[in-house]
């Protein structure tokens, strides 16, 4: 049986299909257990530090809720009222947090590669909860879990990943995780300045089929099981005028989905938060899965914590 005990989770590229499938089994079991018992006590005496140097709602809270439901303790580092204001570096901050001997540190940071950089000298297992535009492996884990549980399979899936594929970190990690499965087709749908990064293509080349498209309408007539929409990453654009010129350049609503897919609307996913790219008219459709997707983060992250702690 694959074991993640004591491991860092830095990139979706490092996970194996066996590890992922095992995690999903554990996630299903924990979901049932949480529904039956509320909280468990298997992580008693274990402490997780959440160190988020960038804003977060879902990722941080679902990690914290997951640890709470497992019966462990969470200590939150709050960047906004920390010694960062006195000029302390993020590196020293992590060194100090690690010195208190937590059992896991979950890190979100602006600099691509930051978790990989500190992992060699941090004693605690590190979970990358997003490093700039680079990666967000636990988001990919919950995304693929959602696909698997909604469609009953991952192999053979046709997915359109749409929006800001260049400055977003969820399209890269999702592509990497899907590349562990068989017979995957990815349509990258984005206006030219937001198309998927070259390094992502390099990493999935030969492992998935892919097409680069500029507009969602080009999907008409193609088999599509999932549309995964992403927000324009305003905070990472090199120039603020770019936001104004690209705002509204891609968008789905219920009428457009009906027009393109008729009675065969694919499931709709989004890592959230959404802005203008996913209209609320989609929310009542049975294919709208983004709120369930966010909820699945709780079970998948609980499974990940359990496995890393070897519980
Ligand atoms: C994403 C992120 O932080 O990359 N949010 C999340 O974790 N669910 C997506 C985003 O911010 O657009």
Whether residue 4 lies inside any domain: the answer is no
Ligand 1 atom closest to the CA of 233, numbered from 1: 12
Is 30 found in the same domain as 164?
no
The three-state secondary structure class of 119 is helix
- For residue 233, give the nearest of 144, 166, 305 by alpha carbon: 166
239 forms beta bridges with none
CB of 58 sitting under 6 A from ligand 1: yes
Q: What's the 53 CA to ligand 1 centre distance in angstroms?
A: 14
Q: What is d(CA 246, CA 21) in angstroms, rounded to the nearest whole number? A: 38
Whether residue 242 lies inside any domain: the answer is yes
Q: What's the 238 CA to ligand 1 centre distance in angstroms?
A: 18
- For residue 142, give the nearest of 28, 218, 65 by alpha carbon: 28
Q: What is each CA distance from 84 to 54, 88, 89, 91, 117, in whole angstroms?
A: 13, 5, 6, 10, 19
**Domain CATH number, residue 217:** 3.40.50.1370
Q: pLDDT by residue (tens digit) across 149-189?
A: 999 999 999 999 999 999 999 999 999 999 999 999 999 99
> What is the average pLDDT across 282-287?
98
Is 255 found in the same domain as 158?
yes
Is 286 found in the same domain as 175?
yes
Q: pLDDT by residue (tens digit) across 63-107?
A: 999 999 999 999 999 988 888 888 999 999 999 999 999 999 999
pLDDT higher than 90, residue 19:
yes
At residue 81, the pLDDT reads 84
> What's the structural domain count of the chain?
2
The pick from 54, 59, 107, 128 for probing ligand 1's pocket by mutation, whose C-beta has the most ligand atoms within 8 angstroms, reads 59
At residue 1, the pLDDT reads 67
Is 113 found in the same domain as 205?
no
Ligand 1 atom closest to the CA of 271, numbered from 1: 8
Q: What is d(CA 271, CA 161) in angstroms, rounded to the nearest whole number? A: 11
Residue length of the chain: 311
Is 115 found in the same domain as 67?
yes
pLDDT higher than 70, residue 125:
yes
> What is the average pLDDT across 277-295?
98
At residue 2, the pLDDT reads 75
Whether residue 7 lies inside any domain: the answer is no
Angle, alpha carbons 105-29-106 (nearest 5°): 10
Is 90 found in the same domain as 238?
no
At residue 12, the pLDDT reads 98
pLDDT higher than 80, residue 31:
yes
Return the active site residues: 58-59, 86, 108, 136
CB of 138 sitting under 6 A from ligand 1: no
Q: What's the 130 CA to ligand 1 centre distance in angstroms?
A: 8
Ligand 1 atom closest to the CA of 272, numbered from 1: 8
Is 151 found in the same domain as 84?
no
Q: pLDDT by residue (tens digit) across 198-228?
A: 999 999 999 999 999 999 999 999 999 999 9
Is the whole-model pTM more than 0.75? yes
CB of 10 sitting under 6 A from ligand 1: no
Question: Considering the chain, what is the average pLDDT of its residues?
Answer: 97
Is 289 found in the same domain as 153?
yes
Q: What is d(CA 248, CA 243) in angstroms, rounded to the nearest whole number? A: 9
Range of the domain at 250: 137-294
CB of 136 sitting under 6 A from ligand 1: yes
Residue nearest to atom 7 of ligand 1 (CA): 59
At residue 85, the pLDDT reads 84
Is 126 found in the same domain as 170?
no
Is 110 found in the same domain as 66?
yes
Q: What is d(CA 218, CA 2) in angstroms, rounded to the nearest whole number? A: 41
């Amino acid at each position: 049986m694959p074991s993640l005990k004591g491991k860092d989770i830095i990139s979706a590229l490092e996970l194996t299909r066996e590890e992922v499938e095992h995690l999903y089994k554990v996630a299903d079991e924990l979901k049932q257990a949480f529904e039956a018992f509320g909280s468990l006590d298997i992580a008693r005496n274990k402490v997780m530090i959440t160190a988020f140097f960038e804003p977060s709602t879902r990722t941080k809270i679902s990690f914290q809720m997951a640890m709470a439901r497992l019966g462990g303790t969470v200590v939150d580092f709050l960047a906004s009222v920390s010694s960062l204001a006195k000029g302390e570096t993020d590196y020293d901050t992590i060194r100090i947090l690690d010195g208190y001997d937590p059992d896991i540190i979950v890190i979100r940071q602006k600099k691509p590669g930051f978790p990989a950089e500190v992992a060699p000298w941090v004693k605690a297992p590190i979970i990358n909860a997003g490093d700039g535009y680079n990666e967000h492996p636990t988001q990919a884990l919950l995304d693929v879990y959602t696909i698997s549980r909604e469609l009953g399979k991952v192999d053979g899936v046709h997915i359109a990943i749409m929006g800001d594929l260049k400055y977003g970190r969820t399209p890269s990690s999702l592509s990497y995780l899907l590349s562990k499965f068989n017979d995957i087709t990815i349509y990258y749908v984005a206006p030219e300045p937001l198309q998927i990064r070259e390094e992502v293509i390099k990493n999935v080349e030969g492992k998935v089929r892919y097409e680069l498209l500029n507009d969602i309408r080009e999907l008409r007539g193609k088999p599509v099981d999932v549309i995964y929409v992403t927000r324009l990453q305003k905070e990472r654009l090199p120039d603020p005028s770019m936001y104004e010129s690209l705002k509204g350049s891609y968008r789905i609503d219920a009428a457009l989905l009906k027009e393109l897919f008729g009675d065969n609307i694919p499931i709709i996913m989004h890592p959230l938060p959404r802005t203008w790219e996913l209209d609320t008219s989609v929310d009542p459709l049975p294919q709208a899965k983004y709120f369930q997707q966010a909820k699945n983060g709780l079970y998948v992250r609980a499974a990940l914590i359990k496995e890393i702690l070897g519980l």
